[in-house]
Amino acid sequence: MLVVKNLEAYYDRIQVLKGISFHVARGEVVCLIGANGAGKTTTLHAISGLIKHVEGEILLEGSSIKKMAPDKIVARGVAHSPEGHLVFPPLSVTDNLRLGAYTRKDTGAIADDIKRIFDLFPRLAERRNNLAGTLSGGEQQMLAFGRALMSNQKILLLDEPSTGLAPLIIKEIYAVITQLKQDGKTILLVEQNAKLAMKVSDRGYVLETGKIVISGTSEELMQSQEIRRAYLGSSVDGFFDKS
């Protein structure tokens, strides 16, 4: 579905990504993990066309999307749920979701998809007529996630969906990611919380200072002593086992 080859990305003269290569197969959930500043968010921004100075190759279903405008990349099937609960505060929850479908013309299917988002996120259904700016941080993250799902995407880019949220909200969001995985959705997940990411991922890549330093199946990474020391704490042990 997605192939990234020798990707380099720059902010002005500062090189953030230093020739990284990875792929995401159709129906896979793949995670990118690493510390703050490793280049995880920059990778998603490069794929989505939000960074102008990019070298290397970004292929979606075998065709290059590098240098395409962000709206054209969305139309090609790449949906991006950004870090930081980015919503349109003056608009209602429902109108925010409709904006996620702005490239689509299938009005009836859009209404069905809004209903599906409300089924996935009951909190949003309860607040469908509320202004997005009045929602809590966790609810805004759910809304940004749901808006990305409205675009009829081939691949979903999720950037730090758990950052700054209460454990109960994190659990709800990751339950939705698990459901999407079971539905066969293709997802590239960026997370600083490595244990959460690998619990729902098939494979993972570890980024350090703009380079991929290790990759493998989630099981392999979970068992790696190096990864456990660097990224896996006990803070979420048994997280998904709790009722």
- Average pLDDT of the segment spanning 166-187: 91
Phi, psi of 199, deg, nearest 5: -65, -25
DSSP 146-186: HHHHTT--SEEEEE-TTTT--HHHHHHHHHHHHHHHHTT--
Q: What is the pTM (predicted TM-score) of this model?
A: 0.88
More confident residue, 12 or 58: 58
Please answer whether residues 184 and 13 qualify as being in contact, where contact means their C-beta atoms are separated by less than 8 angstroms.
no
Do strands 78-81 and 155-159 pair parallel, antiparallel, or not at all (unpaired)?
A: parallel
- Average pLDDT of the segment spanning 186-209: 90
Position 232 scores a pLDDT of 60
Burial of 12 (0-12, 13-18, 19+ CB in 10 A): exposed
Position 243 scores a pLDDT of 32
pLDDT at 242 over 60: no
Can you tell me whether residue 203 is helix, strand or coil? strand
The pLDDT > 70 percentage for the chain reads: 94
Rounding to the nearest 10 degrees, give the CA dihedral for residues 112, 116, 117, 118: 100
Please answer whether residues 181 and 30 qualify as being in contact, where contact means their C-beta atoms are separated by less than 8 angstroms.
no
DSSP H/E element including 211: strand 211-217
Beta strands in 96-154 (DSSP E): none
Please answer whether residues 162 and 142 qualify as being in contact, where contact means their C-beta atoms are separated by less than 8 angstroms.
no
Do strands 29-33 and 187-191 pair parallel, antiparallel, or not at all (unpaired)?
A: parallel
Position 143 scores a pLDDT of 93
pLDDT tier, 201 (very low <50, low <70, confident <90, very high otherwise): very high
pLDDT at 24 over 90: yes
pLDDT tier, 67 (very low <50, low <70, confident <90, very high otherwise): confident
Q: What is the pLDDT of residues 90-144, one digit of tens each?
A: 999 999 999 999 888 888 899 999 999 999 999 999 999 999 999 998 899 899 9
Q: For the chain, what is the mean pLDDT?
A: 88
pLDDT tier, 82 (very low <50, low <70, confident <90, very high otherwise): confident
Whose CA is closest to 33, among 188, 210, 190, 221?
A: 190
pLDDT tier, 231 (very low <50, low <70, confident <90, very high otherwise): low
As a whole number of angstroms, the distance between CA 85 and CA 89 comes to 10
As a whole number of angstroms, the distance between CA 26 and CA 140 comes to 28
Domains and CATH numbers, the chain: 2-83+152-237 (3.40.50.300)
